[in-house]
């Protein structure tokens, strides 16, 4: 294998490791979201909290802004906004579906 091919393989291996860590963190996030859903149900609160969603998206954008200062690669605020919104949408939908199925039992 050529040195450049070895370098490519090593970089890809590092990306795969990061991807695995992201998946693990998302799984942990989903577990915490389920705990929050359970507390909200006990408190008779709505599952969807628009103010909190906006705060989380704002936090992701702030992390992107801070990352630009001296980082090796700039994270786009637009990308962070979309990623946070997608995670929130999936989480809320998952919580709503789980809540509806809990109620039918």
pLDDT given for residue 105 in this prediction = 44
Residues 6+ apart with CB under 8 A from 40: 46, 47
- Strongest mean pLDDT among 47-51, 66-70, 72-76: 47-51
In this predicted structure, what is the pLDDT of residue 23? 97
Look up the pTM and report it.
0.81
**Mean pLDDT of the residues in the chain:** 90
Assign domain 3-103 to its CATH superfamily: Chorismate mutase (1.20.59.10)
Predicted confidence at residue 59, as pLDDT, reads 95
Half-sphere exposure of 97 (CA within 13 A, CB side): 6
DSSP result, 33-74: HHHHHHHHHHTT--S--HHHHHHHHHHHHHHHHHHTTT-SSP
Mean pLDDT of 55-77: 84
Average pLDDT over residues 36-42: 94
In the predicted model, is pLDDT for residue 74 greater than 90?
Answer: no
Say what the pLDDT of residue 72 is: 61
- Provide the pLDDT confidence category of residue 67 given band limits of 50, 70 and 90: confident
Percentage of the chain lying above the pLDDT 90 cut = 73
């Amino acid at each position: 294998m050529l040195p450049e091919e070895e370098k490519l393989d090593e970089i890809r291996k590092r990306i795969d490791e990061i991807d695995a860590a992201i998946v693990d963190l998302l799984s942990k996030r989903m577990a915490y979201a389920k705990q929050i859903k359970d507390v909200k149900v006990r408190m008779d609160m709505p599952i969807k909290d628009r103010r909190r969603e906006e705060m989380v998206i704002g936090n992701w954008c702030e992390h992107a802004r801070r990352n630009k200062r001296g980082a090796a690669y700039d994270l786009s605020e637009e990308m962070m906004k979309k990623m946070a919104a997608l995670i929130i949408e999936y989480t809320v939908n998952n919580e709503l579906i789980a809540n509806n199925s809990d109620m039918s039992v």
